């Protein structure tokens, strides 16, 4: 009975439910989007350029179902419009203008147009009519100009994100006081009127509900007198404060401790100019901190022990400072710590035993320090949750038994330059989650274990370079994961090249013992491959057929045994092409002229022939390095060569070229004309390694001080003209001797006549001058003796005459450098018949022959700059790739700290500028 009753009741309830549901469904179907709003959306779309066709659904009848549009189920009004990177699955998917028709969407509660490209637009005043908005996100939209006061109408706003635009300006902030419900404000990368600077925080913090405040990249003034202005504010209820990248200096940042309260949970001061010791106040006052980012400052001294008081701290980032001293004893306090980044400091000593008590650690990064000592199983077994371990570039040794099974599952392992060998670490086999593995330069002398390629199914980045790892590579076409990036260079791998994963993005296999052909290139599209370095192996066969599908930034096939003709690169090599020192024959094919952005073309040391094609000058205008040395080219040097305004190294030596050196030509080579025209770059050499930056230190073999020399590290500073070993005749154009930026000039072994122009005294950068074995005549100009950097000189076997200018460095060169000039006399050669008053009479034998002084006279600055060269190409390559490949950006940028990301983006911007000025 009771049971029956309940059953009926249940049935009844069920029926009610069903009818409610159908009714509801019915209503939902009846509600259609309002025609006015539909029209407004369509007009809004009209103002946009939809390159990727992300709004293809817009236009069908039911606008509530359009991509990015959300309607109220009750009223049918459009209440949300989210056209951001996540919903559209594309960065900068939409370009164009913000149409005024947006105001017809009066019921909008949430508007998110972030990461669209509205460059040239201001934030429109009409936004003020959308007064129901609670969420407004116009970040990363390339908006510029003044922020309108009309935003003050949006009194319901909870979130106002205008960050990371194109330098929005705030003339005024009074309107903010109307927005009394705001909880998040992001004005990062904006600028504020001077009148606001001193009262900025008062104006913002008038909103007592504010919890999250992002003002990164806002460039606060460094004026110390502003200090008490800040003091008048208190960040009473703030829990998140971002003042990164704001030019804060230690002299004006101490006020922070007087205004922040112990409620602060997250504080980002990265990318400022804070120096001195890290203040104890962080540990003493901001006791609730869970996330503290002090990276990319100039903090010095040891890590203060007071930081260890922050018991709730989960993330501590101290990377890229000048911290020294050893790690303080943890004493079991950092129990909550999950992320610790100490990379790029100068921390010394061994890792204290207590350190491993931070048992919740998931990310431990201490790369590029001077840590010492041995890390053993007993240490690593304590950090059970470790996912990322980066201790590369320290002096650490690992003592782990071959059968050790760690309790963690790493995703990132970077131990480059740690002491791990001689055996390949067997425990790596257990780390099946690993996606990035760097064991380069770790003294491993072992065969790569057979399990390797099968045990790490998620491996995407692999660097095993600079070891003595041997073995053959199995078929890798279905091994590795995602977009594999592989560096096995400088090892002892041998055998044929296998098949590789079709999505491979970079393959560094240089300096091994691979042989056979490169047929693997034909087996797959390799549409993502941007770098292929197979140099210094024993590969052979011809190069035909398989390059059509890839767009390579760097292709290095030099120092192998490839033969046949240069294949058809139809516009698909962008940056660097090395084919040097092979056995290639035929001519330079016209198809090369389509690789218009090439900066390096190196075909030296082959058996190529024909004339130098004019299109090298007309089509390859970005060339920085051109080497065709050691081939069989003949004919004149085409005047089109003179169009190569970016050129820095032009090496046409050891061919059969004839005719004259083109006139009025070298003036066009701006790098030769200006002294020290090279660009110093602050980030040089500071690679954060894959995936953000990789360094391709480019290289080229040139004749340097009379010998062949592979230039790489100091490449960027080198400016060189080498026309030696040809049959060039005529005079040396005087303008060559006016090139203040030229470092090496080699015209030897030709049929040149005439004399060395007096202008030679202007060659302030000249280090090497070789004009030997010509028919040059006349006296040696005195100016040659005054060149400040000249370290190698060869004038032998010409017809020079007269007295060698005395009392100059010319006396310091070995007399053989003047041999074979019948009319030449004076020190270091025997005396002239005419008495020489200034000569002291000590002759050549005592003189120092500078030419053997190989330790390059290039100085530290030059070292810097060379890395830069690699940097420019390499950096651009990877940043370029990341900009293009969104999946990459997601996958990797996520792992990187905000600050590194912005650092790199800054750098990317810088590089883009650099390229514009330098390479375009």
Ligand X SMILES: *[C@@H]1O[C@H](CO)[C@@H](O)[C@H](O)[C@H]1NC(C)=O
Q: CB of residue 401 vs ligand X: minimum separation in angstroms? A: 25
Say how far apart CA 529 and CA 63 lie, in whole Å.
41
465 belongs to the binding site for ligand X (CB under 6 A): yes
The site string for ligand X over 546-585 (x = CB under 6 A, - otherwise) reads ---------------x-x-------------------x-x
Residue 681 near residue 865 (C-beta atoms within 8 A) = yes
Please count the residues of this chain forming the interface with ligand X, following the rule CB under 6 A. 38
66 belongs to the binding site for ligand X (CB under 6 A): no
Query: Which of 564, 621, 622, 576 shows the shortest CA–CA distance to 602?
Result: 576
Query: Which of 90, 186, 34 shows the shortest CA–CA distance to 884?
Result: 90
The interface with ligand X within residues 118-157 (CB under 6 A) comprises 125, 128-129, 150, 153
Q: Which of 52, 91, 255, 863 binds ligand X (CB under 6 A)?
A: 255
Structural element, H or E, at residue 464: none
Q: Which of 37, 317, 487, 862 binds ligand X (CB under 6 A)?
A: 487
539 belongs to the binding site for ligand X (CB under 6 A): no
By C-beta, is 254 or 346 nearer to ligand X?
Answer: 254
> Could you write out the DSSP letters of every residue in 502-519?
TT--EEE--SSEEEE--T
By C-beta, is 659 or 706 nearer to ligand X?
Answer: 659
Backbone angles phi, psi at 323, to 5 degrees: -65, 140
By C-beta, is 93 or 204 nearer to ligand X?
Answer: 204
Q: CB of residue 420 vs ligand X: minimum separation in angstroms? A: 13
**Angle at the Cα of 642 from the Cα atoms of 639 and 645, rounded to 5 degrees:** 165
Question: Residue 282: helix, strand or coil by DSSP?
Answer: helix
The interface with ligand X within residues 695-714 (CB under 6 A) comprises 695
Q: Which of 180, 237, 306, 668 binds ligand X (CB under 6 A)?
A: 668
Say how far apart CA 292 and CA 334 lie, in whole Å.
13
The interface with ligand X within residues 672-691 (CB under 6 A) comprises 689-690
Q: Which structure tokens are listed for 247? A: 């030019």
Q: Which structure tokens are listed for 307? A: 């930081």
Residue 653 near residue 721 (C-beta atoms within 8 A) = no
Q: CB of residue 695 vs ligand X: minimum separation in angstroms? A: 6
Q: Which of 44, 187, 453, 508 binds ligand X (CB under 6 A)?
A: 508
> Could you write out the DSSP letters of every residue in 93-146?
-EEE---GGGGG-TT-SEEE-TT-B-TTPPPPGGGGG-TT-SEEE-TTS---SB
Piece in contact with ligand X (CB under 6 A), picked from 217-225, 639-647, 651-659, 842-850: 639-647
Question: Residue 870: helix, strand or coil by DSSP?
Answer: helix
Q: Which of 90, 198, 221, 572 binds ligand X (CB under 6 A)?
A: 198
Piece in contact with ligand X (CB under 6 A), picked from 350-358, 460-468, 774-782, 888-896: 460-468
Q: CB of residue 455 vs ligand X: minimum separation in angstroms? A: 21
818 belongs to the binding site for ligand X (CB under 6 A): no
By C-beta, is 408 or 669 nearer to ligand X?
Answer: 669
466 belongs to the binding site for ligand X (CB under 6 A): yes
Q: Which structure tokens are listed for 27? A: 């209503």
For strands 531-533 and 315-317, give the pairing: unpaired
Say how far apart CA 874 and CA 625 lie, in whole Å.
16
The site string for ligand X over 427-446 (x = CB under 6 A, - otherwise) reads -------------xx-----
Q: CB of residue 131 vs ligand X: minimum separation in angstroms? A: 7
Q: CB of residue 556 vs ligand X: minimum separation in angstroms? A: 13
Residue 864 makes CB contacts below 8 A (sequence gap 6+) with: 680, 681, 684, 685
Q: Which structure tokens are listed for 7? A: 């059953």
The interface with ligand X within residues 215-254 (CB under 6 A) comprises 227-229, 231-232, 254
By C-beta, is 623 or 787 nearer to ligand X?
Answer: 623
Say how far apart CA 70 and CA 42 lie, in whole Å.
15
Query: Which of 280, 278, 279, 287 shows the shortest CA–CA distance to 260?
Result: 287
Q: CB of residue 465 vs ligand X: minimum separation in angstroms? A: 4
Interface residues with ligand X (CB under 6 A) are: 73, 125, 128-129, 150, 153, 198, 227-229, 231-232, 254-255, 258, 416, 440-441, 463, 465-466, 487, 508, 561, 563, 583, 585, 639, 642-643, 645, 664-665, 668, 689-690, 694-695
């Amino acid at each position: 009975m009771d049971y029956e009753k309940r059953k009926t009741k249940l049935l009844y309830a069920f029926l009610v439910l069903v009818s409610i549901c159908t009714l509801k469904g019915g209503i939902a179907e009846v509600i259609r989007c309002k025609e006015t709003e539909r029209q407004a959306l369509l007009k809004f779309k009209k103002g946009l350029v939809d390159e990727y066709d992300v709004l293809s659904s817009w236009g069908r009848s039911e606008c509530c179902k359009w991509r990015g549009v959300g309607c109220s189920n009750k009223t049918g009004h459009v209440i949300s419009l989210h056209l951001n990177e996540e919903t559209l699955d594309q960065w900068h998917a939409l370009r164009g203008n913000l149409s005024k028709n947006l105001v017809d969407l009066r019921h909008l509660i949430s508007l998110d147009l972030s990461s669209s490209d509205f460059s040239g637009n201001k934030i429109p005043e009409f936004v003020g009519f959308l007064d129901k908005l609670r969420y407004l996100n116009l970040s990363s939209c390339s908006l510029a100009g003044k922020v309108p006061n009309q935003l003050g109408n949006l009194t319901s706003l909870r979130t106002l994100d205008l960050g990371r635009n194109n330098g929005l300006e705030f003339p005024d902030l009074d309107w903010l006081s109307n927005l009394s419900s705001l909880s998040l404000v992001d004005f990062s990368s904006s600028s504020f009127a001077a009148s606001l600077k001193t009262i900025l925080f008062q104006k913002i913090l008038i909103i007592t509900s504010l919890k999250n405040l992002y003002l990164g990249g806002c460039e606060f003034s460094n004026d110390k007198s502003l200090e008490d202005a800040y003091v008048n504010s208190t960040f009473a209820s703030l829990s998140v404060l971002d003042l990164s990248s704001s030019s804060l200096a230690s002299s004006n940042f101490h006020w922070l401790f007087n205004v922040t309260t112990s409620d602060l949970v997250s504080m980002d001061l990265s990318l400022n100019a804070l120096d001195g010791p890290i203040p104890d106040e962080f540990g003493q006052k901001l006791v609730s901190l869970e996330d503290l980012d002090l990276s990319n400052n100039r903090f010095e001294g040891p890590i203060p022990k007071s930081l260890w008081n922050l018991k709730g701290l989960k993330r501590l980032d101290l990377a890229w400072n000048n911290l020294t001293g050893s790690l303080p004893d943890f004493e079991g306090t950092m129990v909550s710590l999950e992320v610790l980044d100490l990379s790029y400091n100068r921390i010394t000593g061994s890792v204290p035993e207590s350190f491993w008590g931070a048992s919740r650690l998931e990310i431990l990064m201490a790369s590029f320090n001077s840590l010492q000592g041995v890390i053993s199983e007993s240490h690593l077994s304590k950090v059970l949750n470790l996912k990322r371990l980066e201790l590369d570039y320290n002096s650490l040794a690992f003592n782990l038994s071959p059968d050790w099974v760690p309790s963690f599952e790493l995703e990132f392992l970077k131990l480059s330059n740690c002491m791990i060998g001689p055996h390949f670490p067997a425990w790596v086999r257990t780390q099946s989650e690993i996606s990035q593995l760097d064991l380069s330069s770790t003294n491993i002398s072992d065969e790569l274990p057979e399990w390797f390629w099968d045990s790490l199914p998620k491996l995407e980045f692999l660097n095993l370079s600079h070891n003595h790892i041997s073995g053959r590579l199995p078929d890798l076409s279905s091994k590795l994961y995602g977009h594999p990036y592989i560096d096995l260079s400088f090892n002892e791998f041998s055998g044929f090249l296998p098949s590789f994963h079709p999505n491979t993005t970079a393959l560094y296999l240089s300096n091994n013992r691979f042989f056979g052909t490169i047929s693997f290139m034909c087996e797959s599209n390799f549409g993502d491959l941007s770098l292929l370095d197979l140099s210094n192996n024993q590969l052979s066969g011809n190069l035909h057929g398989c390059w059509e599908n890839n767009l390579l930034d760097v292709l290095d096939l030099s120092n192998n045994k490839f033969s046949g003709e240069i294949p058809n690169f139809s516009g698909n090599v962008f940056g660097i092409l090395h084919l040097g020192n092979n056995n290639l024959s035929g001519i330079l094919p016209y198809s090369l002229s389509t690789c218009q952005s090439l900066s390096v073309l190196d075909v030296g040391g082959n058996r190529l022939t024909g004339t130098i094609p004019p299109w090298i000058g007309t089509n390859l205008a970005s060339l920085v390095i051109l080497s065709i040395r050691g081939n069989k080219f003949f004919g004149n040097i085409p005047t089109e060569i003179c169009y190569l305004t970016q050129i820095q190294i032009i090496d046409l030596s050891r061919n059969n070229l004839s005719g004259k050196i083109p006139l009025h030509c070298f003036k066009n080579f701006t790098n030769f004309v200006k002294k020290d025209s090279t660009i110093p770059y602050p980030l040089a050499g500071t690679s954060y390694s894959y995936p953000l930056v990789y360094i391709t230190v480019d290289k080229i073999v040139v004749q340097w001080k009379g010998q062949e020399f592979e230039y790489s590290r100091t490449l960027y500073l080198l400016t060189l003209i080498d026309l030696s070993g040809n049959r060039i005749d005529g005079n040396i154009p005087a303008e060559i001797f006016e090139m203040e930026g030229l470092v090496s000039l080699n015209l030897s072994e030709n049929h040149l006549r005439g004399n060395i122009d007096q202008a030679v005294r202007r060659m302030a950068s000249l280090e090497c001058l070789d004009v030997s074995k010509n028919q040059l005549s006349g006296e040696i100009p005195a100016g040659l003796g005054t060149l400040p950097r000249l370290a190698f000189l060869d004038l032998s076997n010409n017809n020079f005459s007269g007295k060698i200018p005395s009392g100059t460095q010319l006396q310091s060169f070995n007399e053989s450098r003047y041999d074979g000039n019948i009319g030449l006399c004076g020190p270091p050669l025997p005396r002239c018949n005419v008495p020489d008053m200034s000569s002291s009479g000590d002759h050549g034998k005592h003189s120092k022959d500078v030419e053997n002084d190989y330790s390059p006279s290039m100085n530290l600055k030059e070292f810097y700059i060379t890395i830069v060269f690699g940097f420019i190409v390499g950096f651009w390559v990877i940043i370029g790739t990341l900009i293009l490949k969104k999946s990459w950006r997601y996958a990797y940028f996520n792992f990187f700290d905000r600050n590194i990301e912005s650092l790199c983006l800054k750098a990317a911007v810088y590089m883009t500028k650099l390229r514009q000025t330098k390479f375009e």
